[in-house]
Amino acid sequence: MAVTQFEPAYARQCFPCWDEPSFKAKFNITLLDVPSELVTLSNMPVDVEELNGNLKTVYYQESPVMSTYLVAVVIGLFDYIEDHTPDGIKVRVYSQVGKANQGKFALHVALKTLGFYKDYFRMPYSLPKLDMVAIPDFAFGAMENYGLVTYREKDLLFDDQHSAAANKQRVATVVAHELAHQWFGNLVTMEWWTDLWLNEGFATWMSYMAKDKLFPEWKIWTQFFDHESSEGLRLDGLAESHPIEVEVNHASDIDEIFDTISYKKGASIIQMLKGYVGGPHFQNSLATYIKRHAWSNARTNDLWAVLKEECNEPTIDKIMNSWTKQEGYPVLSVKMKNQTLEIKQSRFLYAGSHDRCRWIIPITYCCGDYDSLISLLMEKKSETYDIKDLLSNITDPARSWIKLNVEQIGFFRVKYDDGLAAKLRYAIEHKCLSVTDRLGILDDSFALCMAREMSLTSLLTFMKAYREELEHTVLSNLIKIIGKIERIVADARPELMNYIKQFFIGLLLPAAANFGWDPKQGESHLDAMSRGDIFTALAVLGHEETINEANSRFNAFLNDRNTPLLHPDIRKAAYVAVMQKVTSSNKAGLESLLKVYRETDLSQEKTRILGSLASCPDESVVYEALNFALSSEVRKQDAVFALAVSKEGREVAWKWLKFASSDKMKEIGKFFGNKTQASMVRTLKQSMEQIYINSKWVKTIRNDKDLAEAVKKLANK
């Protein structure tokens, strides 16, 4: 099999060209002397195919003008399935021979998504065909080559019997993202890599628009904060972040900006901007932008110009430049004083916030209910707002809570004073707040704790409010936070680990009891995903009942791969549970998992198994698992999935690098000093900063005099 990957600047290695996005051209592709039995694909349909014995020459139709990085060729043995859009566009999904049926879901998503984007952008898909190809060995998740999109198998293929609900959503997400690029990126291309976010931020955001249209039952916008904004806030809270519009001076710098800032922060400020100007105005603006710059290039300022015209908002560029041209984001410190809200902004940094930056911030807040929604624009470092009238309408003191950043539309964090925080905790316990707002408060609280602006004792006490939580997105974020706290406490206060685990198990058991092990008739897509997340977390925490039940179901699965006792949604949980019982003297579970790994040809199943191997508490077994991940049986692109999820595994995998050691941070810097490629300099600096942050957090936790007593009480409730 032969597959090209020219983004960002590799077309020059294949043919002479001006290999920059602004130099668009028409391309005439010809493939010479290809074995006749192989499928040959390029951006455009085949024009003429000439056979010469066992070889063939394939001529393709001339392409429209496009950038060099979008040129593509794929050659190999493939099966395919196909269908047509209502306006005659041929859409095919290519896969390895024998896997064609696994492309049905992606084909369905592609057909519907093309129609949705055509209507939303008021511009049809611009080529006569669209091919989507599943590539077994592919370093990227996917690549949006014009008319010939390439994917990792796990991001395009879906097996009804053996893929999980999370796999289904992943396929829909990646397909919708890559097809959004056919407009944002391919039809209208950023002028230079500085504006990469116009490609990736919009493709990420538009994928949510498409998924919401195709699968409204997924409640995809409640997942947006957890999957996109939360991750963007996490990276952008580092001093070693970078602006969305980042200067790129050399081809070697480009790879580094394909990161969370361009994708997730980019998508998040788009969502914030849409909330500020309104959905209809925003759609009109995007349609005008696409029409105006089709077959050409654009810069960020071109987008602002259209928005100013369409929305009659002359200060759009001033507002948005504060978000795209400077790195970081604000934390709003909120106090209540004499029925007046006092709000102060400063830059949030995990290493310590400061007030040298200023943003123009679209803010929303409500008081007691969502009918009292107030919108405003904060332009100064600090503002006061009289809310006497809002409070006068509230007769029940329990409803006197105030929530800023309603539905987490804004890309910032909020730090409430103790009184406001206590009222929000009550509102969370009594489900007065929306799913997204409960999620946002939890995420902000954890970030403030990591930044040492909130004690771990206070955070854990606050987390009690989520004991009865059943919503997928909140549970997903809660489980991530549980994992991070468990790891930091293992370093800072290992003597408290059993109490911490007991408390976390108690937080999750109500949800486990609600979802149960087996699918329920008519249950939601989100409940199906929650089931797997909950039982995986309980297995990692060492919950004995979960581990025993999962092992029992796994044994049934070994005897019958189609048993209903081990639904794909809970297989990762079962595999992790199996590894909890593996020891150097009893490796039966490991051997059974490797047997399943070797028998399956489903990449999603292989990924689940790889992701469980290093969760074993026995260090010698972890060594063996890591060695397997680096063997010829595992594709290089997949080895990363074997990273440890247990403390023991982490210590083995990074034996020379203590998780929270400032000394090791210096060693890393010295080691990489003269060995670092330009494309990884920023990533290395970010990793070193994270180690520094963790080292400071560990010291703070060790000095938390109230923690031991609080954890013991929480564990026993």
- Write out pLDDT tens, residues 126-149: 999 999 999 998 888 899 999 999
Q: What pLDDT sits at residue 395?
A: 76
- Which token pair is 302? 């071109």
Q: What pLDDT sits at residue 671?
A: 54
Do 80-321 and 336-433 have matching folds?
no
- Which token pair is 30? 């010809």
Mean predicted confidence (pLDDT) in 3-30: 97
Q: Is 342 a catalytic residue?
A: no
Look up residue 51 and give its DSSP letter. Answer: E
Between 348-357, 545-554, 654-663, the lowest mean confidence (pLDDT) is in 654-663
Q: State the DSSP H helix or E strand holding residue 39, giving kind and residue range, or none if neither.
A: strand 39-42
Yes or no: say if 208 and 220 are a contact pair by the CB < 8 Å rule.
yes
Mean predicted confidence (pLDDT) in 354-377: 92
CA nearest 68: which of 7, 126, 148, 125?
A: 7
Q: What is the DSSP string of 467-529?
A: TT---HHHHHHHHHHHHHHHHHHHHH-GGGHHHHHHHHHHHHHHHHHHH-SS--TT--HHHHH
Q: How many helices (H) and strands (E) does the chain have?
A: 27, 20
Residue 675, number of CB atoms within 10 A of its CB? 8
Between 176-180, 297-301, 466-470, 665-669, the lowest mean confidence (pLDDT) is in 665-669
Mean pLDDT of the chain, nearest integer: 93
178, 245, 327, 605: which is the annotated catalytic residue?
A: 178
- Write out pLDDT tens, residues 388-408: 888 888 877 777 899 999 999
Q: What is the DSSP string of 112-158?
A: HHHHHHHHHHT----SSEEEEEEESS-SSSEE--TTEEEEEGGGT--
With bands split at pLDDT 50, 70 and 90, how would you rate the model's confidence at 682?
A: confident
Yes or no: say if 78 and 94 are a contact pair by the CB < 8 Å rule.
yes
pLDDT at 640 over 80: no
Q: What pLDDT sits at residue 650?
A: 63
CA nearest 179: which of 152, 154, 147, 157?
A: 147
Yes or no: say if 695 and 661 are a contact pair by the CB < 8 Å rule.
yes
Q: What pLDDT sits at residue 330?
A: 98
pLDDT at 581 over 60: yes
| Rg, C-alpha atoms of the chain | 26
Domain at 336-433: CATH code = 2.60.40.1910
Annotated binding residues for Zn(2+), written as ranges, equal 177, 181, 200
pLDDT at 626 over 90: no
The percentage of residues in the chain with a pLDDT greater than 70, rounded to a whole number, is: 95
- Write out pLDDT tens, residues 467-497: 999 999 999 999 999 999 999 999 999 999 9
With bands split at pLDDT 50, 70 and 90, how would you rate the model's confidence at 574?
A: very high
Q: What is the DSSP string of 443-470?
A: HHHHHHHHTTSS-HHHHHHHHGGGTT--
Between 46-55, 514-523, 538-547, 613-622, the lowest mean confidence (pLDDT) is in 613-622
Mark residue 90 as left, alpha or beta (left: phi above 0; alpha: psi -120 to 50; beta: remaining): beta
Q: What pLDDT sits at residue 659?
A: 43
Domain boundaries defined on the chain: 80-321, 336-433, 662-715
Q: What CATH superfamily is the domain 80-321?
A: Neutral Protease Domain 2 (1.10.390.10)
pLDDT at 463 over 70: yes
pLDDT at 79 over 90: yes
pLDDT at 657 over 50: no
Main-chain phi, psi angles of 327, to 5 degrees: -80, 165
- 278-307 core/surface letters (b: 16 or more CB in 10 A; e: else): eeebbbbbbbbbbeebeeebbbbebbbbbb
Between 276-280, 327-331, 394-398, the lowest mean confidence (pLDDT) is in 394-398
Separation CA 675–CA 335 (nearest Å): 49
The percentage of residues in the chain with a pLDDT greater than 90, rounded to a whole number, is: 84
Q: What pLDDT sits at residue 97?
A: 97
With bands split at pLDDT 50, 70 and 90, how would you rate the model's confidence at 660?
A: very low
Separation CA 552–CA 575 (nearest Å): 11
Q: Is the pTM of this model over 0.85?
A: yes
